[in-house]
Amino acid sequence: MQVGKAQENVKTIRDLMQRWKDDPMFVRCDDSKSEGLLNVRDMPEKKRGRYEVIEKAGQKITSLVRDCQRYFNAPEQSEDWRR
């Protein structure tokens, strides 16, 4: 039962991280007349949004890892657990 829950947590962590990979942070300009290749006008907003998504996902990932730690009764100070 605990191994199954841990596996679900790992899958959830992978899914959270996959979103970062699938959604590009910077995109090319749609307008071929613009000076640069990247859309710099939207960069600050995109960075803010991405940071929020990563921050929330990081909190969720930390929670899931702590759950796994409890499932396996792993001591927090253990060097093996920290790797």
Alpha helices by DSSP H, listed for 1-83, are 2-22, 43-71, 79-82
Q: Which two tokens stand for residue 67?
A: 């759950």
pTM of the complete model: 0.76
At 3-40, the pLDDT tens digits run 899 999 999 999 999 988 788 877 777 766 656 677 77
Reduce the DSSP state of residue 77 to 3 states and report it.
coil
Tally the C-alpha atoms within 13 A of residue 38's C-alpha that lie toward its C-beta: 9
Distance CA 34, CA 42 (A): 14
Q: What is the pLDDT of residues 60-80, one digit of tens each?
A: 999 999 999 998 888 888 887
Map residue 83 onto helix, strand or coil. Answer: coil
